[in-house]
């Protein structure tokens, strides 16, 4: 039985030759992401900035989103966003937080319900206050920061400090570029997005650890090889696995984009970007930064390397 191979198992690509250009591209990508974020900011969801969320279902066929938008805008409630939710009959209405106390928010919900009329069934209403939103934003940033710190410490203990620095730079590259994507596209940034960023970090570090493990193994096995050759060999040996994992993950995310509805679409698109940029950073950014260090071999490595060389000549 023939096995599917997206990448041949005996590739000999000179990745190290491409690393200088890749690092320049990555630096420009990070700077552009920061610039877009500073200029445009993020389209924060009500999870973070507070507001009203109403889920409704049409009892008379597909929802008339444009007609509803015109009617709701006449209520003068400020920023209102409507979108289909799951099916053609379901809609999601987001309204900015109203001036005043809880009574003002309840009044706004009642006004929206009356505007929808009997053709729509209100299935869910939520209100997030500004205090809760600020707390969620703070905890979201704390979660991302703690995750990056924990990953850095793990790589440090698992490998060496050089590997840890290279890994955290690659992860920061992935996180910053993802935030830049959300700022550029105005995708809603909410708690699901924070979950997507943490998932991207976990996926990216998984690829990076596989490559780093092969680098460490080859450092011990090939004593006479130059560091550049060892890094190239390690990347080529893990390339088939990396590409196959990325492609299968992208296929699953593509199914979510097509069939998951509007609510999951932004999350899945962010994840697709994260898989692509995470795979790229594992190959080019993480190993590219690792190449900047002189990876010392311990006495144990030297002994293992001598054995490896003897085995390779036998």
Q: How confident is the model at residue 17 (pLDDT cuts 50, 70, 90)?
A: confident
Residue 36 confidence class, pLDDT cut points 50, 70, 90: very high
pLDDT of residue 29: 92
Task: Compute, in degrees rounded to 10, the torsion defined by CA atoms 132, 138, 144, 149.
Answer: -140
The secondary structure element, H or E, covering residue 232 is: helix 227-259
Domain 51-128 sits in CATH 3.30.70.3400: yes
Q: Is the pLDDT of residue 111 over 50?
A: yes
H or E element in which residue 49 lies? helix 46-49
What pLDDT sits at residue 1?
46
Domain ranges of the chain: 15-43+133-313, 51-128
pLDDT in tens, 262-304: 667 777 888 888 888 888 888 888 888 887 877 665 544 444 4
C-alpha distances in angstroms, 25 versus 49, 163, 205, 211, 281?
34, 21, 20, 21, 11
Residue with structure tokens 């005996």? 10
Q: Which residues pair with 94 in a beta bridge?
A: 53, 81
- C-beta of residue 105 within 8 angstroms of C-beta of residue 52: yes
Determine the pLDDT at residue 90.
83
Whether 176 contacts 278, CB under 8 Å: no
Mean pLDDT over 94-104 rounds to 75
DSSP state of 282: I
Reported as a single tens digit per residue, the pLDDT across 45-95 is 777 777 788 888 888 777 777 777 777 777 777 777 777 776 778 888 888
pLDDT tens across 131-155, in order?
Answer: 556 677 777 778 878 877 887 788 7
Query: Domain 15-43+133-313 adopts which CATH fold?
Result: Multidrug efflux transporter AcrB transmembrane fold (1.20.1640)
What residues pair up with 91 in beta bridges, in sequence order?
56, 84
Is the pLDDT at 219 greater than 80? The verdict is no
State residue 296's pLDDT score: 63
| Alpha-carbon span 27 to 29, nearest angstrom | 5
Q: Locate 217 and state its tokens.
A: 């193994």
Q: What is the mean pLDDT of the chain?
A: 78
pLDDT confidence of residue 4: 56
DSSP conformational letter for 301: H
Instruction: Write out the DSSP string of 108-145.
Output: HHHHHHHHH-TTEEEEEEEEE-HHHHHHHHHHHHHHHH
């Amino acid at each position: 039985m023939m096995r599917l191979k997206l990448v041949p198992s005996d590739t000999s690509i000179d990745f190290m030759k491409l690393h200088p250009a890749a690092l320049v591209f990555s630096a420009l990508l990070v700077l552009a992401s920061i610039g877009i974020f500073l200029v445009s900011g993020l389209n924060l969801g009500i999870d973070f900035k507070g507001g009203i969320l109403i889920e409704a279902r049409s009892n008379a066929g597909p929802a008339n989103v444009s007609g509803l938008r015109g009617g709701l805008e006449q209520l003068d409630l400020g920023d209102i966003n409507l979108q289909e939710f799951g099916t053609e009959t379901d809609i999601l209405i987001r309204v900015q937080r109203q001036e005043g106390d809880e009574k003002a928010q309840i009044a706004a919900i009642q006004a929206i319900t009356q505007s929808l009329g009997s053709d729509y069934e209100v299935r869910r209403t939520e209100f997030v206050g500004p205090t809760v939103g600020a707390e969620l934003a703070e905890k979201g940033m704390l979660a991302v920061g703690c995750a990056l710190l924990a990953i850095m410490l793990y790589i440090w203990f698992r490998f060496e400090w050089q590997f840890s620095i290279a890994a955290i730079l690659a992860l920061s590259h992935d996180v910053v570029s993802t935030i830049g994507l959300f700022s550029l596209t105005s995708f809603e940034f909410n708690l699901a997005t924070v979950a997507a960023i943490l998932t991207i970090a976990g996926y990216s570090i998984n690829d990076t650890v596989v490559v780093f493990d092969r680098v460490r193994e080859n450092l011990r096995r090939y004593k006479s090889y130059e560091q550049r050759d060892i890094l190239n060999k390690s990347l080529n040996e893990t390339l088939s696995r990396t590409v196959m994992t990325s492609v299968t993950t992208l296929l699953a995310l593509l199914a979510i984009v097509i069939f998951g509805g509007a609510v999951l679409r932004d999350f899945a698109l962010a994840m697709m970007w994260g898989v692509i940029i995470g795979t790229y950073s594992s190959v080019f950014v993480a190993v590219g930064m690792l190449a900047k260090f002189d990876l010392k071999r311990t006495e144990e490595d030297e002994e293992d390397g001598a054995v490896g060389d003897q085995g390779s000549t036998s």
